[in-house]
Amino acid sequence: MDQTLILIKPDGVQRSIAGTIIDRFERRGLKIAAMKLMQVSKELANKHYGIHEGKPFFADLVSYITSSPIVAMVLEGPNAVDVARNSMGETNAGKAAPGTIRGDFALTIGRNLVHGSDSPENAVKEINLFFKKEEIVSYERNNDPWIIES
């Protein structure tokens, strides 16, 4: 099954809406395969956002993601990467559609609450950056036949 890395960024935790954000993904039908509260180090932030190094917003991005704890999750489901990003809404929260996480709870690109991997290849890399193999749990969810037809 496809997996994606989701981060509830420091604003989500500080605003006490981590549970609400998790709820959105759970109710969509995505399965939690791993989850932890953690403090992102500068080193991990530099690796995770390495692709944006050199861009004008890079320093602010690293300082934002390391400013306070985050919740990191591995979510699983058919087309997990695209499904999660659709539920998150577009990067610039000010333009995100209502009904999406960013469209309902955020206003600006610099405080957009969530991260989601942007391709299955990057999902694998990002999951390996944030989680050890033994932290990812494989289990049967007994409501799966009511969410995913076989």
The size of the chain, in residues, is 150
Choose between 103 and 144: whose C-beta lies nearer to ligand DAT.
103
- Quick one: which of 41, 91, 119, 128 contacts ligand DAT (CB under 6 A)? 91
Burial class, 145, CB count within 10 angstroms (exposed 0-12 / middle 13-18 / buried 19+): exposed
Kindly state whether residue 110 participates in binding ligand DAT, applying the rule CB under 6 A: yes
Least separation in angstroms between CB 47 and ligand DAT = 14
Give yes or no for a contact between 74 and 127, defined as CB atoms under 8 angstroms apart: yes
Kindly state whether residue 35 participates in binding ligand DAT, applying the rule CB under 6 A: no
Kindly state whether residue 112 participates in binding ligand DAT, applying the rule CB under 6 A: yes
Residue 115 annotated to the active site = yes
Options 9, 85, 102, 115, the catalytic residue:
115
Amino acid found at 50: G
**Sheet strands side by side (includes 114-116):** 31-38, 70-76, 3-8, 114-116
Q: Which residues bind ligand DAT (CB under 6 A)?
A: 52, 57, 61, 91, 109-110, 112, 115, 118
